[in-house]
Amino acid sequence: MNDVNVKISGNLATVSLCGRIDSNNAHDVETKIMSAIEGKTYLSVVLDLDKLEYISSAGLRVILRIKKNNSDLKLINVCTEVYDILEMTGFTEMMPVEKAYRVVSVDGCEEIGRGANGTIYRIDKDNVVKVYNNADALADIQHEREVAKLALILGIPTAISYDVVRVGESYGSVFELLDAKSFSKILSCEPEKFDWCVKEYVAMLKKIHSTLVPAGKLPDMRETVVSWARFMLDYLPKESGEKLLALVEAVPHDDHMIHGDYHTKNLELQNDEVLLIDMDTLAVGHPIFELASMYNAFIGYSESDHEIIKKFQGFDFETGSAFWRASLAAYLGTKDERKIRAVEDKARVIGYTRMIRRSIRRGGLETEKGKAEIELWKNELIELLSRTDTLLFSRNELEIEATNENLPMVLEFIEEHLDEIGCSPRIKMQISVAAEEIYVNIAHYAYNPDVGKATVRVEVTDKPLTVTITFIDNGKPFDPTKKVDPDVTLSADERDIGGLGIFMTKKIMDDVKYEYVDGSNILTLKKDIK
């Protein structure tokens, strides 16, 4: 059997092996290879294992001796069985080993997702394949696998690819995704689930944005956006261009995760679990960068041609706009139209910047249609820049572990909102004292002896000026308003040490309301500010 074939061209020796290599033939195989390459240490050796079905430890020793002779050794076209042996024995750590790729066809398969770098097809009941646009995508695939693994470890539910395949001239990565349905499909086919979709979509968004990423593990979105702003210097009036760059540079570095392409095709419902997919754009950065790409996905890209979103998401422009608005409101924790619009405008600043740059780089300035579109976006951007002083915003909602240690964070969060409306130190202290009571109650009793989450929401309205603070926890049902008031007319010696907190809260605030809804304690404090 002709089981060894050595071809030398220039500095490259290609050695093809086939069949089995075990103790019966290992010696012969080694002799044949060595007679061709022995002493020629300058050769790069590639072992093509396309036809190799099995290798025993005798065969592995042959590989080690080749490696000793020619340190520049690579194994290619390795079938799964042989790859497993190489991985188990640590060979994949010692030298480059490239797998042979399974070939998969996506002809007639349903397209279930689409992102910046590729398209996702369902290949059978349990599996999907993401086909990359870039023909030379192995590095991208590796990157996506790495970041998806990282996200999973950090607590984000996602699917991780288990195989790399060839799809025509492209590469694809295969995921297990059973019976999943994208949020785009749910919104298109079951409009009655709109509110549910908003709730789940925003819950996942908050989860992503509250995930701290170890330094250096993901690219920094701020750097990317700074480079977009620099690009724009050549295309905007001097003053606008410089302001754009200054605004982006003023956004502080942030080590929290952002998805980078968070639209409804990248969120999947599998059984009862919501999964995030298409992880290759994962980065760290301020949430305003995420909101910008969300704005573009739901509105920006389809603003001048409403058919675009239909083609891409399956639902119409009105549904997309309504979904964006409702999600932004829920994310910010406010119903205040002015506040929502203000944050939307900040997102649009980066959104238009991105679209203009993208269009120019794709030759947009060379077509009439492209030119008109760029002009339109540019005018919007210049107008927005003229009235934007910062890209930063704060959410009206804070979700934290309910512990004593987090009290300063809660009070700071509340006081920030009170400062916004120019609250006097007197009123500020009273509201903080009331808020502290409720929060500390949750920290001490709601989940005792465990620790759980608390959500704090601050809503400010003017005319009349009122502050509403809502505390939500999922701990034991407990109505603090039921507590009996202490007798505050007693002398110091007669008085109990405790029992003051809730009483003070009730005295300070104009309205204290308790509800227990769907497993949540909801306590609402309201104060009119004269």
The distance of closest approach from Cβ of residue 507 to other proteins in the complex, given in angstroms and rounded to an integer, is 5
Q: At which residue do the structure tokens 């009655």 appear?
A: 192
The distance of closest approach from Cβ of residue 493 to other proteins in the complex, given in angstroms and rounded to an integer, is 6
Q: What is the DSSP letter of 256?
A: B
The distance of closest approach from Cβ of residue 449 to other proteins in the complex, given in angstroms and rounded to an integer, is 18
The distance of closest approach from Cβ of residue 510 to other proteins in the complex, given in angstroms and rounded to an integer, is 13
Closer CB to other proteins, 425 or 464, in the complex:
425
Closer CB to other proteins, 254 or 473, in the complex:
473
Cα 370 to chain center, whole Å?
31
Q: Which DSSP string corresponds to 6-39? A: EEEETTEEEEEEEEEESTTTHHHHHHHHHHHHTT
Task: Yes or no: say if 296 and 309 are a contact pair by the CB < 8 Å rule.
Answer: no
Closer CB to other proteins, 1 or 497, in the complex:
497
10: left (phi over 0), alpha (psi -120 to 50) or beta: left
Closer CB to other proteins, 94 or 490, in the complex:
490
The distance of closest approach from Cβ of residue 530 to other proteins in the complex, given in angstroms and rounded to an integer, is 14
**C-alpha distances out from residue 423 to 439, 460, 527, Å:** 21, 11, 12
Pairing of strands 4-9, 453-461: unpaired
Closer CB to other proteins, 194 or 503, in the complex:
503
The distance of closest approach from Cβ of residue 426 to other proteins in the complex, given in angstroms and rounded to an integer, is 5
Closer CB to other proteins, 226 or 433, in the complex:
433
H or E element, residue 433: helix 425-441
> Where along the sequence are the contacts to other proteins (CB under 8 A)?
404-405, 407-408, 411, 425-426, 429-430, 432-433, 436-437, 440, 488-493, 495, 497-498, 500-501, 503-504, 507-508
Closer CB to other proteins, 475 or 501, in the complex:
501
Q: Which residues pair with 256 in a beta bridge?
A: 212
The distance of closest approach from Cβ of residue 394 to other proteins in the complex, given in angstroms and rounded to an integer, is 21
Cα 17 from Cα 3, distance rounded (Å): 6
Omega of the bond leading into 408 within 30 degrees of 0 (cis): no
